[in-house]
Structure 1
Amino acid sequence: MSVIIELQVPGEEFTLGRLLRSEEAPRIEFETTVPTSEEPVPVFWLESEATAAFEARVEAHNAVEQLIPIDEFPNRTLYALDWNAGENCLLASLTAQDAQLLAAARTDDVWDLEVRFPSHDALSAFESDAEANGIAFSVQRLYNPTSPDDNQSYGLTDVQREALELAIARGYYAIPREVTTIELGEELGISDQAVTERLRRAIVTLVSNTLMTTDE
């Protein structure tokens, strides 16, 4: 039976956190990914105009092969990171346990991660691996997604639930549509592209934790 854990990890505690530290860009948000190889490839949104300085610093790191811009919008760029993760990488530890990274975001220098493990044994193995590699984290919440009574958020983060509830309340899914992502973004204090991504992640998470709860 799968289990979902929400973690907070200081950026200096793991390789990727140190690599993506940026004073110019206080917020980074990962794309939801399912590990498909032994070498994890992070894909993330950078919410900042100061991309040149960020790119130069990341690409100067000896573990980085290439930082690849995938999509660019005003104040927001999607990147893929081609790098040598190393054995003590947090993402490599998740990949080794067949874990799914449901959400990851950095605000200032603290990372909030939401991870689904296929079993409690896999979670225990990850915790042991993190301890062996000196990665400290704090557990914010732990729950079984197949037991809705234990958690009425169904795996949604607070910001995902806020965005989804606001979109429904304002008529974003009505026909005809009664509000735009730009207007929703103004209420939430984020860009319209960020609204679109947040709603997409919220729907994927909600469906995954309600309709797709079998072991398969």
Structure 2
Amino acid sequence: MAIEASFTVKQADFPLSAVFEQLTDVTIELDRIVPTGEAIIPYFWISADDTGKLTTDLSADIGIEQVKIIDQVEKQMFVRIDWNLTHESILTAIVNTDITLLSGIGKEKRWTFEVRASEQQDLSDFQTYCQDHDIPIELTELHAISSLRSDREYDLTDGQRNALIIAYSNGYYDSPRDATQDDLADELGITRQAVSSRLKRGMRRLVASTLITPEE
């Protein structure tokens, strides 16, 4: 059974730390491309209030050979990078084991990587590789990938499904919340009471369909 996992790495333990030293309130997101030899993850996005302050000379980092700015628009910069894969990092662990990188996002203090493995042993091999090469990763989330189910199996109505998706997309379930029930009502064109009812009934049906066993 396929498995997905999330790992964190301290910002200083991954190449590109110089970007965080030069810019404030910066986010780096690796562009997801299937690894092909040394061309693993050749692009990334930098988002910051003032990307213009970033110099392109990041070659002092032992994990990087060279970088090149491809495009820059307002608060984002699209960059190509050639990694130095003789320097051990979570990237070399990905190259040398049978797992797939789903996402890599770096913020002020740490990087978060999401990976997928076809089976448990592949993920264990990845963790062993990191341990053997002193790559300090921390496992934060692990779950098996279950087969997809249709809305009919969850017993959701179209209105409940739509309300749940809109709520999720607008940050209603975030903490702190980025949207209120009044905001959702305006977008859905219904009353706040109707939104509340759809969310409650929809969540109840999701829980009943996914977490509750027949014995319970």
Counterpart CA distance in 2 for 1:9 and 1:143 is 19
Indicate the RMSD between aligned Cα atoms, in angstroms. Answer: 3.1
SS of the residue aligned with 1:59?
coil
TM-score by length of structure 2 reads: 0.61
Count of aligned pairs between the two proteins = 158
Aligned partner of 1:181 in structure 2 is none
Aligned to 2:137: 137
Query: Which position in structure 1 is the counterpart of 2:8?
Result: 8
Deviations 1:127-177 (A, max 9, x none): 11111122222222101123569xxxxxxxxxxx8997239xx9xxxxxxx
**Number of the residue aligned with 1:24:** 23
Could you list the per-position Cα deviations for residues 16-42 of structure 1 after superposition, in whole angstroms to 9, with x for gaps in the alignment? 254554341421111122211145244
Residue in structure 2 matched with residue 186 of structure 1 by the alignment: none
Within a 5 Å distance, the mapping from 1:15-54 to structure 2 comes to 16=15, 18=17, 20-25=19-24, 26-38=26-38, 40-51=40-51, 53-54=53-54
- Counterpart of 2:170, as a letter, is L
Cα distance, 1:50–1:163 mapped onto 2, change above 3 Å:
farther
Q: Is the counterpart of residue 107 in structure 1 residue 107 in structure 2?
A: yes
Indicate if the aligned counterparts of 2:56 and 2:68 stay in contact, CA closer than 8 A.
Answer: no
In the alignment, structure 1 residue 120 sits paired with structure 2 residue 124: no
**Residue 74 of structure 2: aligned partner:** 74
1:40, 1:92 within 8 Å by CA — same for their partners in 2? no
The answer to whether the 8 A contact 1:99-1:117 is kept is: yes
Report the more deviating stretch, 87-96 or 123-132: 87-96
SS in structure 1 at match of 2:71: strand
Question: In the aligned structure 2, how far is the partner of 1:128 from the partner of 1:32?
Answer: 24
Q: Which secondary structure does the structure 1 equivalent of 2:131 belong to?
A: helix
Q: Distance in 2 between matches of 1:98 and 1:80?
A: 24
Cα distance between partner residues in 2 of 1:59 and 1:163: 43
Q: Give the 4+ runs in structure 1 shifted more than 6 A.
A: 161-164
| Bigger Rg, structure 1 or 2 | 2
- Once residues 65 and 90 of structure 2 are traced to their aligned partners in structure 1, the CA distance between those partners, rounded to angstroms, is 18
Post-superposition offset of 1:108: 0.3
Secondary structure of 1:28 counterpart? strand
Gaps of 5+ in 2: 150-164, 172-178, 180-186, 188-216
